[in-house]
Structure 1
Amino acid sequence: MDWITHDEDVWFDFRGNSPKQLTPGRFYKGTVDGFADFGVFVDLAPGVTGLLHRSELDRRLESLDWDSGDTVFVQVKNVRSNGNIDLGWSIRQSESEFRGARVHDPEGDADGDAIETDENDGPDPVKKKPKGASTKSRTGNGTEAAAKGGPSTAENETGNDESEGSSGDATEGAFEFDSETADDETADEDEAAGEERDAAGSDDVEDEVPSEDDEEPERVSVDSLGDRVGDLVRIEGEIVGARQTGGPTIFEIRDETGVVDCAAFVEAGVRAYPEIDEGDVVRLDGEVELRRGELQVETEDLTELTDDEADAVAQRLEDALSEKARPESVEPLAEDDAVDAITEQLADAAEAIRAAVLESRPIVVRHAATADGYVAGAAIERAVLPLIREEHARADAEYHFFTRRPLDDPVYGMDAATNDVTRMLQDNERHDEKLPLVVLVGVGGTTDSLDGLGLLGVYGASKVVIDAEAVDAEIEDEASVLVSPSLAEVDAADLSTGALGANVAGAVNADVTDDLAHLPAVSYWEGAPQAYLDLADGAGYDADRTRELREAVALEAYYQSYQDKRELITDLLFEDDGGLAGHVSEQYRIKLDDEVETAEANLESREIDGVDVAVLDADSYSHQFDFPPTSLLADALHRQAEDERSVTVVYSTDELFVRSDADVDVRAAAADAREAVPEGGITAVGIRQNRVEFLSGAREDVVDAVTEAVVDQL
């Protein structure tokens, strides 16, 4: 049975009754059974159904031109032990594109027999020429008969039968195309028509070259296409997507009013206009049609614009997007001089985020895995998700176009950036997704993040950096949009990352400001501005309730800190009547109090140049790999100090945290300590946390040197 060695060249008709009878690697003919958020179910036989997962598609699931009941071709990739069938995509979606067909009847005599197929299945051999050809026939009396599959003028005059070209599917159950005169048939008809003209000496048959008086299509906007079905139109815009189906090439074109799919067909599975790609500014002429209830333009001609023409279209798109995306006004959530001074920066950030939604560009939010960081990230999430739902009908759009990824280490370093770049390149390669907008909230404002930001920049990803504290000058050159009171030279000592993030969220979506009212107060462990306390109280959140929320979020932020916990955080911050937060907060308090009690009993008290310093060996006197993390334990010890000591230092194997009521320049302290202990490998790596890393072998000397360097600053 030589045909077994050529399974990839044929399709099989499965006549078995069990998934285990299928042969992985073969292509099978099936029927679309239904759709889910994660893929398509395809029946290969009665009771034998497989899943074509969305990750296997060569396009987005929502753009797949299949309906339930459609006949399709898929490849069986794997049959699992539980009977589940993993299916793969087949670019060939008609019988004629395979070299043959065979019966797969595991228990029958016909197994392996050839199947007679319809050679005319699939797209007509009469093909549309997208480049330099018109779908409207201008031959003979100027009728559209030839273009629509009817008799040509020459055929009518010579008494020939009607043309055999008829409307056919490029892919079974997918996009339909009107047949047109192919190159060879056009030549034959032109010759026949020419002979008739010469013989009759008549001018009845016009020259097939369009006259100079033929009017060009009218340039129209995408949002007007609904009123122009059947019309020949011209669209100018940017290619925002290009995908090859089993039939036509589908170009997504965006102008200043919207996006529309435009189909161009050469032959099944062959790329039309290969010189046109995503990002090109183009002019397209085509006929507006309704396909399965959706507007689509059947392409007649597609041309890339250059120089002044391209610049004019690009500027028109940019102006329209900016006008639509920029908020009309920005109102701070409460009276705050620092926020009031940066309303233009807030508007810039809001415009960038809203534009990403309008462009169908994924948004990735990075924030610290702390209560303050989660509040900021969740606030932006609360503002963006409704906008995504409005823009996209698909049920999972908010998960597809918005991702929030907490950072255990509140620095956007190379590890985090590499993770983001890897994911965005995979999504771009597999699903033609645009490069994301990366929003860094409280984690991208220092030079520690330069390498990570630079890696994003190499691939052209836009970066919005939002930081309540002073931002290093080098970051200004790396960020696409920067929001920080330090740029306005105002005192922002009382502004938290959560409060700033909530104000950004209010600028992004003013409709959710009521939902955000309590968030700034939740983000402060102590010293919350009265304006934010009053704002929360007015929304029904008193001091006890905001404390419970803060503690609950802090506890949940610790466990699997790299996960967004979207639903849980939403329940805590926006849907809870107090029961959930109260329960989690109680667990937080029990765990923290136990650790603090043990730690306080083992604090080493030092006096250096008249300054009281408390030092804790966290490896010896706290539970490793359990809540609270070392940084949070250092915070709690310093807040609960009864002796009003000036400095608290908590160290573990190869890192230490400094806490002080006075401002401490941890970079300078690390530099001084490095001179004293050059073998210690001392580096300030977490400026926002006053964190220093070192080599564990020199730990005792490093702790002494850093502590003395900090005291010298006081």
Structure 2
Amino acid sequence: MGNCIICGTPVDGEICQSHEEDAVFEFRGTAASQLTPGRYYRGTVDGYADFGVFVDIGDHVTGLLHRSELDRRLESLDWEPGDDVFVQVLDVRDNGNVDLGWSIRQREREFRGELIETADGEYKPEDLEDDTDQAAENADEDVQESADEGAVQAGELQAAADEDESESNADSIDDQQPAAAETAGTVAGSGSVATESAAASTPTTEDAADAESEPEPALNRTTVDAIENQVGSVVRLEGEITGVRQTSGPTVFELSDETGTVECAAFEEAGVRAYPDVDVDDVVALEGEVEHHHGDLQVETETLDVLTDEDRETVKDRLESAIEEEARPADVAPLADHEAVTAVEDGIADAATEIRRAVMEARPIVVRHGATADGYVAGAAIERAVLPLIREKHTRDDAEYHYFERRPLDGRVYDMDAATSDVTSMLEARDRHGEQLPLVVLVDAGSTVESVDGYELLSLYDADALVIDDSRADDQITDAVDVAVAPSLAGVDIADTTSTALAANVAAHVNDDVRADLVHLPAVSYWENTPDEYLELATEAGYDETGISERREAVALEAYYQSYKDKRELVIDLLFGDDEGSERPRDGDLAAHVSEQFRDKLEAELETARENLTVRGVDDVTVSVLDTDAFTHRYNFPTTILLLDALHRSERDRTDPPYVTLGVGDDELHVRATEPVNVRDLGDAIAEAVPNGGVSVVGGRDGHVEFLPGERDAVREAALEALGETLA
């Protein structure tokens, strides 16, 4: 009777049944029948077949890890014959075949214990080692006894020889003296030579002390981008800790230097934090062996020291110099000659620099954008530029999902609800996974004073933010964010600007390698009056007007469904297409299919809306009023915003300007006009006329008016009067 090595429960053997899967076994049996199904074993890769991998379990048994048991494609395994791996024995068949299962744990340290399984049971490694040591000790004793017996026999023979010599004739002694002397000299000489030889081969105490005191040569520093060619070697890295996470086995540190980021595993014991004094932002020197772990490069940490004083400053200066040199674009080259973009060239360079710095510093990037066609395409442009840089920077295959996130917004205001959600997520990521605080990028949203509270919440945690928006921005926003790319702040007419036109230019300067992928995106974002320069870019890239229109409509429809999700892969397919021969749909086919649904759904709603428009003439201003709650399907596509935009475009050409389309719901009022309307001024006029209406403006001068449902009729009449006075 013994105790379980994990929980201490009394058991027959060394481990209880409930913890068998928590230990790894080394098999020293001689037959497959001696294996225990359900347990995990150390094995050695024997070879590959079309249907799986053969793994030797011990010296006498081979099992098959079938491809259906893998958590990845067989072709993606980086195992080589002879590699040590860990597998689970699923079944031992009657014919001796062994079925193996995949183990997510591929290091001994990720298990909670280690045992040796033999034909007659399991043993602790030290118990078998004790047996081996005892056997070796017994063998040494036998050798010593043999040596002692030999010495006794040699002594007896020498005594016999002496006795024979003493009985010799005295005369013969004189004759034999030279020979005896020669013989003695030979014997003595042999002994002297042996002694000198032993003395030469055995170091003196002084020599041993000198050998022990001689330090090993220090490792030269290497860089993260160079370790790919040093697998199996011990390297020294210097950099900043940009992430810490505790697994059920080792502690994983993310170390960033001026060339990249790599994960470094350090093991104290299963689930116990290694190097507890090392945390995010510490500058360290780390030595360890470079390995492949599940296809990713990883360093097995041997030493990890926090650098201070001059050593720390040396590394920090090296990192900062590299970031300054690489982060800022050498020059600004817009995608096209567009006045609104040219006016904010400095902002474009600043925004690109901030995004590139975040990637280089291993900070997550969170892109927030409106759930519209323009918002999605603008966000996708930034995503297209950043993801390759993240893949290049980090050694983890899934880094792009950890260090980049795109989250649609409900509306164009970065309010406290959105900011609270982001702060909660980033604090959880910091506390649970040791991640740094993110850079929050607002695209097609967040440029008005209503977003300031949200930015202030981010700033309390030292999280950076930048905004890229085509709306008429408020001056207060420049103090609330680190960078604002908003042409209206430069005094430029924004009538022919979209957020995508701005974001695509920023993205092109974040990553010049994807510039050719982005040139058609500005044209996709315009519902009408697309600037000629963007149409020419799209045409040169192989997108005709039909293709551009289909992509815009398809994205607009998909933006409506599950508007809170990024739909990364679907948006990529719609906007950027795919290679020939791919199993995924071609971009043109997909866009055409989805855009057809868009047109059918939109036209059905437009027909209903036209039949229920109320046309009013107010001071020479024609106003078409639509009751958006009574005469639209509130939970069906299209959204109120999209419907009003399409309705206004379709009706304005039938009426002399000024023409206004007014959408009035239970508690919201939206206005579209042929002449610019400052919604803030409109809101002030309504509030003055309806002081008890709870009137407020959301989204600044291009936003909408909110009010109390009980004052709906009064708000509508006040809006009509104010529009007449403003536009007449």
Change (3 A) 1:230 1:688: same
The match for 2:281 is 279
| TM-score, structure 2 normalization | 0.68
Structure 1 residue corresponding to 2:694, chosen from 675, 681, 701: 681
Change (3 A) 1:704 1:394: same
Residues 249, 272 of structure 2: 8 Å contact kept: yes
Instruction: Specify the code of the residue in structure 1 equivalent to 2:123.
Output: T
Q: Deviations over 1:608-655 (max 9, x none)?
A: 333322211122222221222111222122222211343221011211
1:4-43 alignment, distance < 5 Å? 29=40
The match for 1:552 is 554
Residues 278, 306 of structure 2: 8 Å contact kept: yes
Separation of aligned partners in 1, 2:573 and 2:605: 28
Separation of aligned partners in 2, 1:709 and 1:53: 64
Separation of aligned partners in 2, 1:445 and 1:218: 49
Residues 244, 280 of structure 2: 8 Å contact kept: yes
Separation of aligned partners in 2, 1:401 and 1:395: 12
Separation of aligned partners in 2, 1:348 and 1:248: 39
Separation of aligned partners in 1, 2:439 and 2:497: 25
Structure 1 residue corresponding to 2:716, chosen from 684, 699, 703: 703
The match for 2:194 is none
Structure 1 residue corresponding to 2:124, chosen from 115, 118, 122: 118
1:11-160 alignment, distance < 5 Å? 29=40, 70-71=85-86, 97=113, 116-120=122-126
Change (3 A) 1:548 1:241: closer
The match for 1:654 is 667
Residue 12 of structure 1: CA displacement? 7.5
Instruction: Specify the code of the residue in structure 2 equivalent to 1:615.
Output: V
1:182-221 alignment, distance < 5 Å? 203-204=206-207, 206=209, 218-221=220-223
Q: Deviations over 1:340-396 (max 9, x none)?
A: 232232222223333333444433222112121122122222323333444456554
Q: Which moved more, 1:350-359 or 1:552-561?
A: 350-359
Residues 696, 705 of structure 2: 8 Å contact kept: yes
Residues 12, 101 of structure 1: 8 Å contact kept: no
The match for 2:152 is none
Separation of aligned partners in 1, 2:576 and 2:110: 51
Q: Is 1:633 the equivalent of 2:653? A: no
Change (3 A) 1:550 1:360: same
Separation of aligned partners in 2, 1:230 and 1:69: 13
Residues 679, 702 of structure 2: 8 Å contact kept: no
1:163-182 alignment, distance < 5 Å? none
Change (3 A) 1:474 1:50: farther
SS in 2 for 1:659: strand
Q: Which runs of 5+ in 1 are unaligned?
A: 15-26, 35-44, 55-61, 75-84, 103-113, 125-158, 160-199
Write 1 or 2 for the structure with the bigger share of helix.
2
Instruction: Specify the code of the residue in structure 2 equivalent to 1:253.
Output: L
Residue 508 of structure 1: CA displacement? 2.0
The match for 2:685 is 672
Change (3 A) 1:289 1:652: closer
Residue 402 of structure 1: CA displacement? 3.1
Residue 291 of structure 1: CA displacement? 7.0
Residue 699 of structure 1: CA displacement? 0.9
Separation of aligned partners in 1, 2:102 and 2:666: 47
1:327-366 alignment, distance < 5 Å? 327-366=329-368
Instruction: Specify the code of the residue in structure 2 equivalent to 1:279.
Output: D
Change (3 A) 1:46 1:657: same
The match for 1:403 is 405
Aligned-CA RMSD value: 4.9
SS in 1 for 2:692: helix
1:250-649 alignment, distance < 5 Å? 250-262=252-264, 270-284=272-286, 286=287, 302-307=304-309, 309-392=311-394, 396-575=398-577, 578-640=588-650, 641=652, 642-643=654-655, 644-649=657-662
SS in 2 for 1:473: coil
Q: Deviations over 1:3-30 (max 9, x none)?
A: 699987776799xxxxxxxxxxxx9656
Residues 449, 700 of structure 2: 8 Å contact kept: no
Q: Deviations over 1:16-63 (max 9, x none)?
A: xxxxxxxxxxx96567999xxxxxxxxxx9999999999xxxxxxx99
Separation of aligned partners in 2, 1:32 and 1:683: 69
Residues 238, 254 of structure 1: 8 Å contact kept: yes
SS in 1 for 2:629: helix
SS in 2 for 1:334: coil
Separation of aligned partners in 2, 1:13 and 1:206: 42
Instruction: Specify the code of the residue in structure 1 equivalent to 2:706.
Output: E
Instruction: Specify the code of the residue in structure 2 equivalent to 1:648.
Output: T
Residues 288, 303 of structure 2: 8 Å contact kept: no
Instruction: Specify the code of the residue in structure 2 equivalent to 1:404.
Output: R
Separation of aligned partners in 1, 2:611 and 2:111: 79
Structure 2 residue corresponding to 1:663, chosen from 663, 668, 676: 676
Residues 73, 92 of structure 1: 8 Å contact kept: no
Q: Which runs of 5+ in 2 are unaligned?
A: 2-8, 25-37, 46-62, 90-100, 131-143, 145-202, 578-585
Separation of aligned partners in 1, 2:309 and 2:626: 66
SS in 2 for 1:477: helix
Residue 280 of structure 1: CA displacement? 0.7
Q: Deviations over 1:418-463 (max 9, x none)?
A: 3333444444444444433322111121122223333333344332
Separation of aligned partners in 2, 1:503 and 1:95: 50
**Identical amino acids, percent of aligned pairs:** 51
Q: How many correspondences in the alignment?
A: 595
Change (3 A) 1:7 1:688: farther
Change (3 A) 1:266 1:384: closer
Change (3 A) 1:488 1:230: same
